[in-house]
Amino acid sequence: MTFEGELERCRPWIEAAMEYSGGTHEFEDIVQALIEGRMQFWPAPEGCAITEILCYPRKKVLHVFLAGGKMDQLIDMIEGAAAWGRGQGCSGMTMAGRLGWERVLNKSGWKRSMVVMERGI
């Protein structure tokens, strides 16, 4: 399947995950970032993830921006994404998401490092 075909197949999972991202992106913004190489697309048969590399003054991390679909398939993608991130010079991974992710990811060595809160102004 083509890149465009895979994106359309995964669009429902991407859009569902975007509902929890605070209204920062539309689907078209994700597509543009993928085309420009600012984000990465990780499709699975029944799910997908979108990552981006975040560069801080003292650390570079692979950030899981969005993920949706069958949980076991998403968990199975972590090690492959981590290996890819290491190859890009990342020394860690981060993820933003609903609190339910914490329970699932704790089993894979993830820990809570911060809480993100939001309000309109």
pLDDT tens for residues 19-75?
Answer: 888 889 999 999 999 999 999 999 999 999 999 999 999 999 999 999 999 999 999
Residues sharing a CB contact under 8 Å with residue 15, sequence separation 6 or more, in sequence order: 27
Instruction: Return the pLDDT at 42.
Output: 97
Residue 95 predicted with pLDDT over 80 = yes
Residue 115 lies in a domain: no
Residue 47 lies in a domain: yes
In the numeric block, which tokens belong to residue 119? 């309000």
In the numeric block, which tokens belong to residue 63? 């950030």
Residue 116 lies in a domain: no
Residue 118 lies in a domain: no
Residue 10 lies in a domain: yes
Instruction: Return the pLDDT at 6.
Output: 95
Model confidence band, residue 99 (pLDDT cutoffs 50, 70, 90): confident
Identify whether the C-beta of residue 13 lies closer than 8 Å to the C-beta of residue 49.
Answer: no
Neighbours of 112 (CB within 10 A): 10
- CATH code where residue 67 lies: 3.40.630.30
- Domain with 30, as residue range(s), is 3-108
Strand order from edge to edge, sheet including 92-95: 39-44, 47-55, 60-69, 92-95
Q: Give the chain's domain count.
A: 1
Q: What does pLDDT average to over the chain? A: 92
* Residue 50 φ then ψ, to 5°: -120, 125
Query: SS3 of 106, please?
Result: helix
